[in-house]
Each structure stands twice: as C-alpha cells, then as structure tokens.
Structure 1
Amino acid sequence: MPDPKPSAQPVEFAPWVDPKAAPLISFRGVTKRFGDFTAIDNLYLDIFQREFFALLGPSGCGKTTLMRMLAGFENATEGTILLEGQNIGAVPPNKRAVNMMFQSYALFPHLTVWDNIAFGLKRSDMPKDQIPARVEDMLRLVQMQKFAKRKPHQISGGQRQRVALARSLAKAPKLLLLDEPLGALDKKLREETQFELMEIQEKTGTTFVIVTHDQEEAMTVASRIAVMDHGKLIQVDTPPVIYEAPKSVYVADFLGDVTVIEGRANRVGDIYEVSWAEGQPPLRCASPLTLAPDQSCFVAVRPEKVEIHADRPEDENVLQGKIVDIGYLGNLSTYHVQLANGQIIKAQNFNTERDTRRRFTWEEDVWVNWTVRCAILLER
C-alpha cells in the first residue's frame, strides 16, 4: 500500500509582500483639507483583496476621514483613490462596490430582522425572486435564522450588530467598511464578536477595513494595522511586527504597555550599550539598527518581558528598585518598580496558581531584569 501523500501546508496570507499582487485599494498622494486643517496629509497606502485591515489611532488622527473618502462621503482635496485600478473619486457612494457598517448599526426600528437585511436588495437590480434566498443565506451566515421575524428592539446589542453586518454583506460588496462596529458592546461580548467577525470575513472573502481606537481589537482581527497620527501613516505592518518591532516611540507607546528610557548608545561587539542615568549600569540591547557613536536613542521594553525577583539575579540588564504600585488583573499582576533615580519600570507576572496572597507587595525592595533581545532600540 503506497504511503499517503503528506497534507499540504497552509499558505501564509501576505499579498503585500508579493510584487505581482495587485492591490484592491490604492491611495496615491491623497490629501484632505477642511479649510486650513489638514486631516489627511499626502498619504500612500495599498490594501489587498481578502485583507482584514485596521486603521488605528487616537481621536482626530484622520482614520475616519480616510474611511469616509473610501465610502464616497468625502472627496480628496488632492491625490487619487483607486478601487481595482479604477479612480473612484467621481463615483457616488451608491454606485461604489463598497458598503459601510456604522457604529450605531442604523437598523430600521419598524422593520423585522428579515426586512432590514432585504431592504437594500429590494432597491438593487437583483431579481425579486432571488432576494428571499439571499436573505436566508445572510441569516445563516450570522446565525440569526431564529430571530428573522423580530424587530431590532426585541434582540440584544450583539444580535443587532450581526443583523447590521448581514445587511452590509447582502449585496456582496468588494469592500466593507466598519466604523467602530463593536464600540457599543460590553467587553466580553466585544471579544466574542471579534472572532465571529474574523470567521465571517474569512467565509465571505470580502475585504474588511475597520476603524478603531482599541489596540487589542486591532491586534485580534487584523491581517495588517495602519497606525495613524495627524493624518499620516506612522507604521503599516502585521500585528506581531507592529507590537514586537515598532519603528518609533509613538508606535511602541500607542500599541500596548511599554517602559521607554532615553539614553545614548555605543556599540560593543554585536550589542549596543545605552548609557541612561548616572549611577545606573548601561542597558544592553541587541538591535539591527546602525547608530553613530554616542547617538541619542530610546530603549523600549514591554512589561511582560521584564522579570521581577526578590534576590539579585545573575543576568543582564539587572536593576534594583522598590514597588510603588500594583495592578491586579486576575490572570496577571503588573508591578510598577521605581528605581533610585525615579525611573519607573513596569513588570508583569502571570498568576499561574490560585493564591490570594501576593508574591510581592507595596514598598518591597526587588530586582528587575530583561534579556538583550527583549528590549527594542529606537532612534525616535
């Protein structure tokens, strides 16, 4: 009997690294001004088919303006927006192969779930005899068959979110825009719905672009994240790269928790030593950067990379301090350790055992450390 063929390994989805891949959406030198205020500043960006792309940034960074230009609710002051290679600047919103799901869901309160999903289809060029089957397909997709005859006020917030999603996908748009779609849900339901969104996006193959200020949400759902600030793209990359290899202090600080220490770097062998405070040992970092001797820099270290000890460890980047604050989150504890010069280092411990007693407590003298490959060396 012949040996069975080995199963094919799944191919990693990364069209952005394929020079032959044509983007679904292209922003080319796009600028948007409102009077003297520049909301989007000379932006270039490609988004590919089947991506779940996140626009992430604080309020006023330009992410919603970018989405509204995609939807056709705003026109670019300068530059071009392409959809499958075609300039869509002059195409009105109702003629674009784009749909938008709003944070408020915007469901019709007097219509049933079934009729809400069918509403747009009845005003499209779809033959009337095909509409019921399409609505049923959408109900199955979002698992709302049992609630088809109910009205929006008779279902939960999470169910209303599913209905809005089904209505948005009913006309099979090439691009679905989601404006803070989970903002109205409580934390637990929001986390559950994130995975539902990912599953639906994968089943339909529709390109999703989500606007959010929630870093954890972007990290969970997105294939790539664009971190924005003042109308500019600061960094566009996959969630692991954005988190583990940010290109600036802004990105490192915006995405997750981090301790940032300013200093001056000098190369010693294949490691940089960063002098940062009088009386403190230099911090050692492994980095691909090429820095000039005594160049100003920043060392960024995530709290989960920092170990905390009662006794001095025999390791690198060992610093002594005192615990001045503790955050207990159930699964983990965050310790704020103040060094002699006032610098605060954050360290996290996972609470792997059921124990109501704290391993460390306030005002306790402790040691913290991290390895040379755990810290991130940044120029700006």
Structure 2
Amino acid sequence: MQAQARPAEFAPWNDPNETPLIRFDGVTKRFGNFTAIDDIDLAIHRKEFFALLGPSGCGKTTLMRMLAGFEAPTEGQITIGGKDMAGIPPNKREVNMMFQSYALFPHLTIWDNIAFGLKRSDMAKDQIAARVDEMLRLTRLERFSKRKPHQISGGQRQRVALARSLAKAPKLLLLDEPLGALDKKLRQDTQFELMDIQEKTETTFVIVTHDQEEAMTVASRVAVMDNGKIIQVDTPPRIYESPNSVYVADFIGDVNLITGTAQLGQGGAALLTWAEGQPEIIGTAGEGLSASAPATFAIRPEKVNISESRPECVNNVVRGKIHDIAYLGNISTYHVELPDGQIIKAQTANNRRLSQRMYTWEDEVYLSWTDTAGLVLAG
C-alpha cells in the first residue's frame, strides 16, 4: 500500500495559530435508538484533502451528510468558517457535494451540465461562459464540451461532475465514494487527477471512502472510523507506520498480528511473550501499553525478512515452513507456518524472473525483523 504524503510544509493542523475551516464539537447523531455518530470532535483545515475512511456502516456518510446539511446533529455543533451550521439548509452553505452516481443530465451537453448550476446562481450571465470554459480546461474536457454524457467514458463523466461541483467555487467540496464506479486502473489514474485539481483550486476536499489505498493516496490526513467513532486522525504515513490501535493496524493495509502479554522495556521498547518455546518479540511500545497486560504485536509483511539460513545479530527470529505463496507481479507474499500453527506473511520484491524464485512451497525458512520494525499495541 502506498502512502502519498503532501509537501512537508503543508501541515496546518500542527500550527496552533491556524483556525480550522470545519469543526465538529461533541457531535452525536441518533436515528431512533441507533447511534450513528457518537460524540465526535474533529477539525479540518483549509486546503486539506481530508479522507473519512471506514467499513460500511461506520458513520462516515452520516458525518458527510451533516456537513452538507442533509442531516442535523442530535447533539453538538458543526461550524464552517466559524459559522454555526444549525438550521442552515444545504443550498445556503458554501458547500457542494459530488455523488458516486455523478447525477449528470443525459439530455444536456457537457458544457451545459457544467453551466447548469451557474445559470441558477447570482453569477452575472456574461461571466458564465468564461467560468465554464475555465472548468473545462481545469478538467481537460475542452474537446468533449459538445458531447452528451453517454458519449464519453466513465472517467470523463467523473471529471464533468467534478467540474460542475467546482464551478461555483465552494469553500468545501464533499465527495461521496466518487471513484467507486470506475475500474481499478482508471480509479488509480483519476486519484492523481483529483489531487492535482484540488491543489490547483485550493478548495478543501472531504472524501468518503472505504478504499484504504484511495484514502492513503489522495489525502493529506485520514480519519479512520468504526461504529460511529473516530479511532485515529493522522497523515497517511503515520496511519500506516504508527497505528494507535490493533483496529487501525488491521484495517489499513496488510499486517501480521501476534497476540501475547507485554512487558515494557527501555527506550520506548516493549517485549511480547507469545508462544511456548519461542523467544520474546521485541518491538516499539504503542500508545497506552501496560506491563503484564494482553497485547498484540503488529508488523507489516514487507518489514519481515525471509532467508534460508538463520540470520546473525537479529533478536527477532522464527523458523517455519512455506505454506502458501501469493504472486502479485511486482511482489510475492510468502505465508509461513510456524510450529504452533501461526501464519506469518513476508513480502519480497520480484526482481528475478518467476523461474528463478529462491523459495517455494514446503521450504523451511527463517523469518526475521529488526527491533523497531513492529509495534506492540494494547489489547
């Protein structure tokens, strides 16, 4: 999984003098007896590309709908630009929303689809054509302006919907699973187009997605959600490398999880006792870790080394047999079964042809990793 980091200088969330564009303060949303959003505090800054990430039913779409004005909080306050949004309808907010279905008018040309909202706004009529042409250039759709939606590709329709959403220059653009209808390769290409457009317009984007790779690619920060709560908010590299819980470690990317009992070491290290006859695992102590408490060691497969002979000068070494191999083109993932039945995954880059692969099924191998490669997390 790749984590696309924004330029280092863009980190308004670290500046105490920066005022967030959006604030959720103690926001709860209930539907009857069901709590969809549970006492959330969240700040999103201007020019951010912010991702709400989580499984179906975690509350991310409800959070977005409250921002748009389609739902009202049961408790708490939402402010945009310092203004309380309570009672303000969607059409009175400087917010636009782009839906997964795109909702384009099939009988109108691309040009007229983009112009539709402008013609019903207070923009001067002699300025509309110039604004539509600007949006066509921004989304590289100039030569398709006279076509109808059915005459262009899915990726191009996505860009039309984006151009229409940006035409009125909203402070905030909400994107609800905007790439879900695209095939994988087109979705990956469009992610970078979205990032480029967001940076050029400097509009604040908030995207709802259940696609971890999408969130990690486009976002300046990611909020990982579960059961109506925000579990962690951080940059993609920190979400991936420093998850604050077993849930986040398991939800983002691929990970090995080994359960046991923790002991605190020196210099931020922790020891995990995990299986009879196996040496303790040394890792970095995660947030809230307590001595002699249940804990889980989390390590990414790409940080696990695989070798035929036992490596020297490494503390964390286990031996096992290759149970399965997943060939993914650029990488191979080896599923190695330990004597107690535990499976640990190790990834290697395929810099040799398949016929020259060093390891195969049933091979006895050693797995090893450095003392700082994994985290010992509470629970």
State the TM-score, normalizing by the size of structure 2: 0.96
Aligned counterpart in structure 2 of residue 132 of structure 1, from 119, 129, 133 = 129
Report if aligned partners of 2:244, 2:286 keep a CA contact under 8 Å in 1. Answer: no
Residue type matched to 1:259 in 2? N
Change (3 A) 1:319 1:181: same
Give 1:297 deviation, angstroms.
Answer: 1.3
Residue 353 of structure 1 is matched in structure 2 by: 352
CA deviations 1:58-108 (Å, max 9, x no partner) are: 000000000011111111111111011101121111111000000010000
Give 1:273 deviation, angstroms.
Answer: 2.1
Aligned counterpart in structure 1 of residue 250 of structure 2, from 233, 253, 258 = 253
Residue 299 of structure 2 is matched in structure 1 by: 301
Report if aligned partners of 2:100, 2:181 keep a CA contact under 8 Å in 1. Answer: yes
Report if aligned partners of 2:154, 2:182 keep a CA contact under 8 Å in 1. Answer: yes
Change (3 A) 1:66 1:230: same
Residue 378 of structure 1 is matched in structure 2 by: 377
Whether 2:270 is the aligned partner of 1:272: answer: yes
- d(CA) in 2 for partners of 1:74, 1:83: 15
Whether 2:22 is the aligned partner of 1:20: answer: no
Whether 2:239 is the aligned partner of 1:239: answer: no
Report if aligned partners of 2:290, 2:378 keep a CA contact under 8 Å in 1. Answer: no
CA deviations 1:289-315 (Å, max 9, x no partner) are: 575442321110000000111111112
Whether 2:80 is the aligned partner of 1:83: answer: yes
Residue type matched to 1:305 in 2? K
Give 1:170 deviation, angstroms.
Answer: 0.1
CA deviations 1:10-29 (Å, max 9, x no partner) are: 76111111111111000011
- d(CA) in 1 for partners of 2:187, 2:121: 32
What is the 5 A alignment of 1:39-50?
Answer: 39-50=36-47
Residue 221 of structure 1 is matched in structure 2 by: 218
Report if aligned partners of 2:286, 2:375 keep a CA contact under 8 Å in 1. Answer: no
- d(CA) in 1 for partners of 2:362, 2:44: 50
- d(CA) in 2 for partners of 1:248, 1:333: 27
CA deviations 1:12-48 (Å, max 9, x no partner) are: 1111111111110000111111111100011110000
Q: How many aligned residue pairs are there?
A: 371
Residue 158 of structure 1 is matched in structure 2 by: 155
Aligned-partner SS, 1:79? strand
- d(CA) in 1 for partners of 2:273, 2:39: 38
CA deviations 1:347-369 (Å, max 9, x no partner) are: 00001233434321111111101
- d(CA) in 1 for partners of 2:330, 2:74: 49
- Calculate percent identity across the aligned residue pairs: 68
- d(CA) in 2 for partners of 1:130, 1:250: 50
Report if aligned partners of 2:288, 2:378 keep a CA contact under 8 Å in 1. Answer: no
Aligned-partner SS, 1:286? strand
- d(CA) in 2 for partners of 1:332, 1:267: 35
Aligned-partner SS, 1:124? coil
Aligned counterpart in structure 2 of residue 100 of structure 1, from 92, 97, 102 = 97
Aligned-partner SS, 2:73? coil
Residue 206 of structure 1 is matched in structure 2 by: 203
Report if aligned partners of 2:26, 2:41 keep a CA contact under 8 Å in 1. Answer: yes
Residue type matched to 2:111 in 1? W
CA RMSD between the two structures? 1.3
Change (3 A) 1:343 1:112: same
- d(CA) in 2 for partners of 1:238, 1:370: 25
Change (3 A) 1:134 1:291: closer
Whether 2:164 is the aligned partner of 1:167: answer: yes
Residue 5 of structure 1 is matched in structure 2 by: none
Residue 62 of structure 2 is matched in structure 1 by: 65
Change (3 A) 1:11 1:215: closer
Change (3 A) 1:268 1:122: closer
- d(CA) in 1 for partners of 2:367, 2:224: 31
Change (3 A) 1:349 1:367: same
- d(CA) in 1 for partners of 2:227, 2:157: 33
State the TM-score, normalizing by the size of structure 1: 0.95
Aligned-partner SS, 1:160? helix
CA deviations 1:248-277 (Å, max 9, x no partner) are: 000000000001111112234444221101
- d(CA) in 2 for partners of 1:298, 1:216: 24
Residue type matched to 1:359 in 2? M
Aligned counterpart in structure 2 of residue 141 of structure 1, from 126, 129, 138 = 138
Runs of 4+ in 1 over 6 A off after TM superposition: none
